[in-house]
């Protein structure tokens, strides 16, 4: 069965940082993110960064849920609840080479790996992470961090598919995920109106489906979705929802979805930080992989 690998050229290398750790984190969001993004001297006119200051991080360094703590806070899923659904993780180059064996032993059964961002960045650790999760027996998928201010939705879907974000009907490959959330590099909604953002997302989804035959997953937070799409309800019929909320329940969902398919419930789980729950048993994970 085919195994997809990404290229090795990285136009904007992403700094390797130990963002995800199993050590307990402070509940103070500002202190947490200040550690992740040390202050640098920039002009006062710079756009707000994820820490709430004026320092944007380097392009390419975004990851799933980068702005969730700042905007929505950090709670935590009680340990007894963690066994109720199927455990998964998401990773990017911040984790480097991932201990997939340790994650598998801990009960993780599926994973999403950052493949691309915009049309300018490819995860240099993609092969180890994407193929490593597959080789250890997990169901895996790839995600794309959207930057609607840098290129069209269709162009970014093409870049994603061409660099690891495709799909194969092998029963172990999840459809690609569109990470559309708080902008770590500037204005929260990437300078787009709500209708313009909806159009951008629609173009990405349409091109991804044309290229792969699958409906992509949307990863977002309800607060961002309300602010930046006007709480648009038109994608829920066909597009699986991956909701970000670091608390004891997924909470309110964006308009158009009655339930989430996946839920990113913490950024401070064991081994790699970002842990998720699939809304169903393992056979439902496989069902999504199979389409």
Predicted confidence (pLDDT) per residue in 98-108, tens digit = 999 999 999 99
SS3 at position 131: helix
- Is the model more confident about 222 or about 14? 222
**DSSP bridge pairs for 179:** 145, 219
Is 179 one of the catalytic residues? yes
Rounded average pLDDT over 132-160: 98
Cβ atoms of 165 and 174 within 8 Å: the answer is: no
Which backbone phi and psi does 94 adopt, to 5 degrees? -60, -30
Q: How many residues does the chain have?
A: 291
Residue 195's CB is within 10 A of a number of other CB atoms, namely 11
Gap between the Cα atoms of 209 and 16, Å rounded: 32
Gap between the Cα atoms of 207 and 217, Å rounded: 13
Q: Pick the catalytic residue from 14, 72, 90, 117.
A: 90
Rounded average pLDDT over 244-249: 94
At which residue do the structure tokens 């493949």 appear? 115
Rounded average pLDDT over 238-259: 96
In this prediction, residue 29 carries a pLDDT of 39
Gap between the Cα atoms of 99 and 79, Å rounded: 22
Q: Pick the catalytic residue from 72, 181, 215, 274.
A: 181
- pLDDT exceeds 60 at position 40: no
Q: Pick the catalytic residue from 72, 87, 179, 274.
A: 179
Q: How confident is the model at residue 265 (pLDDT cuts 50, 70, 90)?
A: very high
Which backbone phi and psi does 135 adopt, to 5 degrees? -65, -25
Four-way CATH pick for 61-290: 3.40.50.720, 3.20.20.80, 3.40.50.2300, 3.10.129.10: 3.20.20.80
Rounded average pLDDT over 77-103: 82
Gap between the Cα atoms of 113 and 177, Å rounded: 9
For residue 55, the Cα-to-chain-centroid distance in whole angstroms is 22
Is 283 one of the catalytic residues? no
Is 181 one of the catalytic residues? yes
Gap between the Cα atoms of 46 and 95, Å rounded: 28
Strands (E), 127-194: 139-145, 177-179
* Cα-Cα end-to-end distance for the chain: 17
- pLDDT exceeds 60 at position 14: no
**Among the ranges given (78-87, 136-145, 183-192, 237-246), the one the predictor scored with the smallest mean pLDDT:** 78-87
Going from N- to C-terminal start, the domains of the chain cover: 61-290
């Amino acid at each position: 069965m085919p195994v997809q690998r990404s290229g090795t050229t990285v136009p904007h290398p992403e700094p390797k940082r130990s963002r995800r750790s199993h050590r307990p984190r402070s509940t103070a969001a500002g202190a947490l993110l200040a550690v992740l993004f040390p202050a640098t001297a920039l002009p006062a006119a710079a756009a707000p960064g994820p820490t709430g200051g004026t320092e944007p991080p380097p392009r390419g360094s975004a990851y799933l849920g980068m702005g969730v703590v700042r905007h929505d806070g950090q709670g935590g899923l009680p340990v007894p609840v963690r066994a109720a659904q199927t455990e998964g993780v998401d990773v990017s180059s911040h984790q480097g080479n991932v201990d997939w064996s340790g994650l598998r032993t801990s009960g993780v059964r599926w994973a999403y790996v950052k493949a691309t961002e915009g049309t300018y960045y490819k995860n240099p650790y993609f092969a180890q992470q994407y193929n490593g999760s597959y080789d250890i027996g997990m169901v895996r998928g790839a995600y794309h961090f959207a930057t609607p201010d840098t290129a069209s939705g269709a162009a970014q879907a093409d870049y994603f598919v061409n660099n690891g974000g495709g799909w194969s009907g092998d029963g172990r490959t999840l459809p690609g995920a569109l990470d559309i959330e708080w902008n770590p590099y500037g204005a929260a909604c990437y300078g787009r109106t709500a209708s313009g953002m909806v159009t951008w997302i629609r173009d990405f989804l349409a091109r991804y489906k044309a290229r792969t035959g699958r409906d992509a997953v949307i990863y977002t937070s309800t607060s961002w979705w309300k602010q930046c799409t006007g709480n648009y309800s038109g994608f829920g019929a066909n597009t699986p929802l991956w909701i970000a909320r670091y608390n004891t329940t997924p909470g309110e969902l964006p308009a158009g979805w009655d339930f989430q398919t996946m839920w990113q419930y913490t950024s401070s789980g064991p081994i790699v930080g970002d842990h998720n729950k699939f809304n169903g048993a393992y056979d439902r994970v496989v069902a999504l992989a199979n389409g």
